[in-house]
Chain A
Amino acid sequence: MLAALEVTPAWYLVLGSLLFGIGAIGLLVRRNPLVMFMCVELMLNAVTLTFVTFSRMLDDIGGQTVVVFVLVVAAAEVVVGLGIIVALLRKRPEATADDLALLEG
Chain B
Amino acid sequence: MVELFVFAVAGLVCLSGAIGVIASRNPVHAALSLVATLFGIAVLFVAQEAHFLAAVQVIVYAGAIVVLFLFVIMFLGVDRAEDLRVEPLGGQRIAAGVLGIGVVALVVAALASTSFEATGISGDVGPLPEEGAYDISLLSEALFTKYVFAFELTSVLLVIAVVGAVVLARRSRRAEEIVDPGQEERAEQVAERIARAEARARVYERNPRGGEAGGAAAAPADEPAEEPEEVTA
Contacts and interface: CB of A to CB of B under 8 A. Distances in A.
Interface string B50-91: 101100110011001100110011011110001000001000
B19 A22 contact: yes
Nearest to A15: B11
Interface in B82-124: 82, 88, 92-93, 95-97, 99-101, 103-104, 107-108, 111, 116-118, 122-123
B78 A34 contact: yes
Interface in A56-103: 56-62, 64-65, 67-69, 71-80, 82-87, 89-93, 98, 102
B104 to A, nearest CB: 4
B128 A61 contact: yes
B213 interface: no
Contact of A68 (B97, B108, B143): B143
B165 interface: yes
Given A52-B45, A55-B128, A61-B128, A10 B111 contact: yes
A19 B15 contact: yes
A6 B3 CA distance: 8
Nearest to B10: A15
A52 B116 contact: no
Given A45-B38, A79-B165, A28 B100 contact: yes
Interface of A: 2-3, 5-15, 17-26, 28-32, 34-35, 37-39, 41-42, 45, 48-49, 52-62, 64-65, 67-69, 71-80, 82-87, 89-93, 98, 102
18 contacts: A8-B116, A28-B96, A29-B92, A31-B82, A49-B41, A55-B128, A56-B49, A60-B123, A62-B123, A64-B139, A65-B143, A71-B61, A73-B157, A76-B157, A80-B165, A83-B164, A83-B165, A93-B76
